[in-house]
Structure 1
Amino acid sequence: MKLISFALLTLSLNVYAADYSFNSDQSKLEWEGKKVSGAHQGTVSLKSGTVQLEKGALTGGEVVVNLEKMTVTDLQGEWADKLVGHLKSDDFFSVKDHPNVSFKINSVKKLKGDQFSVSGPLTIKGKTSEQSFNVSVKESAKEVNIVGEINIDRTTYNIKYGSGKFYDPKTLGDKMIDDKFTIKLNLVAKK
């Protein structure tokens, strides 16, 4: 009898709390970096991650992004390869030494409807800093879709190349690169 009661209690708790694993193939992470003379766009790949929901509300999660699979989508051929190589170099993300970026949700604030504000440590290039951004969360019986956008100041993570904060903007001219870049996320997690 005790065993049956325990099983029923466990089942009822699972209705309210659920862990989902992100599907790397269905999830999309698109980046954009701007400079004086234009912008570049591309993608990075989700390596792994989970998200937790309780009674339909986001309660936690974490993701690991694989920078080794970075692409550029606004250029083709040699120019795209050249830019990817530069972004992976020590001027930017030092991918050889730091192939992954990670983010862990430490706090969640419910906003309107399916909107949440999430905060937690973001680690890029071996440096960690607290980040906050908004996401929308849609849950179905078998999956969760999380959509959001995060603006990241790259200089916080010791990525100074072409920054007007660290180099004379007059000397940089049209080679000056905006300190902030954007990641648009559309993540799909399966139960």
Structure 2
Amino acid sequence: MKKVILSLVLVASVLTACKSEKKEKVEAKEAVKIETVADLNNVDVASSVITWKGTKPTGAHNGTIMLKEGSLNLNEGKLTGGSFAVNMSTIKVLDIPADKEGNGKLVGHLSAPDFFDVAAYATSKFVITSVEETEGKLAVTGNLTIKDVTKSITIPAMLTKEGAITTFKSETFSIDRADFNVKYGSKKFFDNLKDKFIDDLIEMSFTVNTKA
């Protein structure tokens, strides 16, 4: 009996640990109306990056996307606003070797009309609308635009400085791609997918560096 109880406790502990590893979805709300954001063009797009991870019943894929341009508005070392445009044509897959056929196929699929439709929507965007700081951590709210949909989300982040470079780095968070009209393989749009569906949640993180 003791062995059974210990086994149940062990299973419960493992399930709890697995559950805690999943990044909670950030809530997508109605976009916030804002005035024009100052275009400082002070972001170093070469060293800034967005990471992504998508999952499905049979596994996961991950990769990066680069920025096209961006601005971080700072006042006495505090983040007060900003925006950055994402170059969707730079989608990369990192978990499949670049010289493998599957890499190119997946990039092509992610770029296709039934996913991010890069030909029609070459740029995604995040515009900061408010910043709250608590114990050194930031809650950054902004309008995220993917394809033809703009939603307000709040993400956890930190601001650090090393020399002349300021870095805005988010924690890993998840968005629901269905909120942004990304339909392929989503059970919210299609029935009878069985185990061929793709999870709606996409994990993301931002690392945005200013120019030196």
Instruction: Specify the TM-score bucket, using the shorter chain as the normaliser.
Output: 0.7 to 0.9
Number of the residue aligned with 1:126: 148
1:65 aligns with 2:86: yes
Structure 1, residues 35-81: CA drift from partner, whole Å, max 9, x if none? 11111001111111011121222110101010101111111321010
Contact 1:20 1:143 in 2 (8 A): no
Instruction: Kindly report structure 1 stretches of 4+ aligned residues shifted beyond 4 Å.
Output: none
C-alpha separation between the residues in 2 aligned to 1:152 and 1:63? 18
Structure 1, residues 116-165: CA drift from partner, whole Å, max 9, x if none? 11112111112111111011100244110111133211111111111122
Contact 1:162 1:177 in 2 (8 A): yes
Contact 1:60 1:105 in 2 (8 A): yes
Contact 1:137 1:146 in 2 (8 A): yes
Number of the residue aligned with 2:178: 155
C-alpha separation between the residues in 1 aligned to 2:187 and 2:75? 44
| Identity %, equivalent residues | 37
1:31 aligns with 2:52: yes
Number of the residue aligned with 1:96: 119
For 1:159-170, what aligned pairs fall within 5 Å after superposition?
Answer: 159-168=182-191
Select which of 34, 44, 51 maps to 2:65: 44
The 3-state SS of whatever aligns with 2:104 is helix
Shift of 1:175: 1.5
Shift of 1:20: 7.0
C-alpha separation between the residues in 1 aligned to 2:178 and 2:68? 24
Contact 1:20 1:144 in 2 (8 A): no
Structure 1, residues 157-184: CA drift from partner, whole Å, max 9, x if none? 111111122222xx22222111110112
The 3-state SS of whatever aligns with 1:26 is coil
C-alpha separation between the residues in 2 aligned to 1:87 and 1:52? 32
The 3-state SS of whatever aligns with 2:47 is coil
Task: Give RMSD over aligned pairs.
Answer: 1.5
Which consecutive residues of structure 1, in runs of 5 or more, have no partner in the other structure? 1-18
For 1:3-42, what aligned pairs fall within 5 Å after superposition?
Answer: 21-42=42-63
Contact 1:137 1:145 in 2 (8 A): yes
C-alpha separation between the residues in 2 aligned to 1:53 and 1:70? 29
Contact 1:104 1:121 in 2 (8 A): yes
C-alpha separation between the residues in 1 aligned to 2:163 and 2:182? 41
C-alpha separation between the residues in 2 aligned to 1:120 and 1:186? 15
Number of the residue aligned with 1:11: none
Which consecutive residues of structure 2, in runs of 5 or more, have no partner in the other structure? 1-39
C-alpha separation between the residues in 2 aligned to 1:137 and 1:147? 6
1:86 aligns with 2:134: no
Q: Which has the higher strand share?
A: 1
TM-score of the aligned structures, taking structure 2 as reference length: 0.76
TM-score of the aligned structures, taking structure 1 as reference length: 0.84
Number of the residue aligned with 2:211: 190
Structure 1, residues 79-122: CA drift from partner, whole Å, max 9, x if none? 01001001000110010010110010011111212x11111211
